[in-house]
Amino acid sequence: MDKSISASKPLSGEIVVPGDKSISHRSVMIGAIAVGTSEITGFLHAADPLSTISCFHSLGIEHRFENERLFIFGKGLHGLQHASTALDAGNSGTTIRLMSGILVGQKFATTITGDEYLVKRPMKRIIDPLSTMGARITATESKTAPLTILPAERLNAIDYELPIASAQVKSAVLFAGLYAEGTTRVIEREPSRDHTERMLGLTSQTVDGKTIVTVDGGRKISAGVFAVPGDPSSAAFFIVAGLIVPGSEILIKNVGMNPTRVGFISILKQMGAFISIEHERIVGGEPLADIVVRSSNLHTDLVLDGAIIPNIIDEIPILSIAAAFAEGSFQVCDAQDLRNKETDRIEAVCDNLRKMGLTVDGAKDGFAFHSKNNLLQGEFDSYDDHRIAMAFGIASLGLKGTSTIKNAECVSISYPSFWETIQALQR
C-alpha cells in the first residue's frame, strides 16, 4: 500500500500514542516465566509484540485479551514446553534476542527464526555472551537466524561488560542469568534503556562511571501487574509534526518518560522547540507525563555522537526530519548500529533526504547535511521499515504539494493507526 500525503493545514488536538513496544515485549516475557497470572494494561497491539505472544503460545503459555487488559498465565522459570515447530519472531529483533536469553535455560531444544529481514540481522552480539555462560547456540555461518538453542549442561554466571550499549544484549544476558548458577553482572559504560531491570526489580549501581546490573540465578519471579505507558518513540513523530507544521498545537497524553528513552526531547529543545512536559507522575515504576508541543522556528548546527546515541537510536530518522526543516547543519556520528535495524536506516534516511533536495554526506556510522529552503515533495521509499515510513510521512506534512510513501503499511510493526492519527489531527 502506498500512501499519498499533501501539505497539511495546522495540526491540533489531543492524542494518545500506542503502548510502549519495549515494555509490551518484556511484560509478556516476564509474565510467561513468572508464577501465576500477570495482568497487562496498555499493551501494544502491533505486529512485533504480537510475535512475542505467538512464540510463547507455541511454548505452552496461554493468554487472554479482555477489554483493555491482557492476561498472561505464567508457569515459572521451567514451565515452558517444547514447541512442535520453529518459533517465528516475525520482524522483531527484540523478540528473538531477548527470548534467546530465556530459551538457553530450558531443558529442550528450540529453533527460533523470523521474516526475510530479521534473518539478515546480526545475532553474534547475543551468541557470544550467552555461549560464554555455557549456552549451546547454532546459527548460520554469518551468525544470523535461524538460531537453534540446545539444552545446556548448566549455565554459569558471568560478569559481562557490553562492548556497545545495547538494551537487547543486556536483557538477553539478564534473562539467562535467571537460569545460571551464581550472580550475573552486566556492566555498561554508556546507559541503555533499563526496562528489564526495572520490571524484574533488579539492583543496579554506578561504579567509576559504569552501571552494573546484577541478577541472581534461580530467583523466583512472581506474577505482576504491568501498566504500559505510551511509547515515547511513537510520540516523537507527532512532536516533530507539531513543530514543523505552522500554526500547530498538539497534546500527547500518557507518554513514557523513562530517562533512557527521551534524549530526543532535549535535542529538540536545543533546536528551539516549544515542548512542555506536564502532569508528571510514576505509574508501575515508570515515569509518565503529558506533552504539549507547538510549532516552532527551529535551528540546528548540532553534532549528535557519543553517549547520547544509544538513548536516541530509534529517533534519529525523525530527528533528521526536524533538522531538515530547521536552519543550519546536522550531523550524526557513532550510530553504525542504525545499519542493523529493520533496514539500513543510514542508507534509507540519506536516500530519502536527497529526494527532498538536500545534499547529504553518508558515512559508515552516520550522515551529515545542511538544511535549505524550498524542500521538495517526492516519492519516498519506506524500505519496509516502520520508522522510515513514519518519519517521511511526517516530513510530507511540511512539504509543498503531495508526496508518496511506498509500502506504507509497514507502520503496523509499531503503530497500526499512525495514518489515522494524522487525519484526526488535521480535522
The candidate with the shortest Cα–Cα distance to 239, out of 52, 56, 397, 60, is 397
Instruction: Name the amino acid, one letter, at 344.
Output: D
What HEC string does 90-115 produce?
Answer: CCCHHHHHHHHHHHCCCCCCEEEECC
d(CA 360, CA 155): 48
| Residue that is last in its domain, among 197, 227, 257 | 227
Q: Are residues 177 and 238 in the same domain?
A: no
Do 370 and 396 lie in one domain? The reply is yes
Q: Which domain holds residue 119?
A: 21-227
Q: 235 and 269 share a domain?
A: yes
**154 and 275 together in one domain:** no
Distance of CA 413 to CAs 42, 92, 238, Å? 16, 8, 17
Q: Looking at the annotation, which residues are catalytic?
A: 314
Tens-digit pLDDT string for the chain (427 aa): 999 999 999 999 999 999 999 999 999 999 999 999 999 999 999 999 999 999 999 999 999 999 889 999 999 999 999 999 999 999 999 999 999 999 999 999 999 999 999 999 999 999 999 999 999 999 999 999 999 999 999 999 999 999 988 999 999 999 999 999 999 999 999 889 999 999 999 999 999 999 999 999 999 999 999 999 999 999 999 999 999 999 999 999 999 999 999 999 999 999 999 999 999 999 878 899 999 999 999 999 999 999 899 999 999 999 999 999 999 999 999 999 999 999 999 999 999 999 999 999 999 999 999 998 899 999 999 999 999 999 999 999 999 999 999 999 999 999 999 999 999 999 8
Together in a domain, 200 and 312: no
Asked whether residue 270 falls in the same domain as residue 400, the answer is: yes
**Which pLDDT score, from 0 to 100, does residue 3 have?**
97
Pair 155, 216 in one domain:
yes
Query: Per the structure, how many domains does the chain have?
Result: 2
CATH assignment at residue 47: 3.65.10.10
Same domain membership, residue 144 and residue 81 = yes
SS3 per-residue string spanning 331-363? EECCCHHHHHCCCCHHHHHHHHHHHCCCCEEEE
255 and 404 fall within a common domain: yes
Residues 135 and 282 in one domain: no
pTM of the full structure: 0.92
Q: What gap in Å lies between CA 188 and CA 174, rounded to an integer?
A: 13
Q: Which of 201, 227, 253 delimits the end of a domain?
A: 227
pLDDT (tens digit per residue) in 72-120: 999 999 999 999 999 999 999 999 999 999 999 999 999 999 999 999 9
Q: Are 296 and 323 in contact (CB under 8 A)?
A: no
Q: What are the grid coordinates assigned to 258, written together? A: 523513562
Same domain, 398 and 312: yes
Same domain, 109 and 184: yes
Query: Which of 227, 246, 264 is where one domain is finished?
Result: 227
pLDDT at 39: 97
pLDDT at residue 157, rounded to an integer: 98
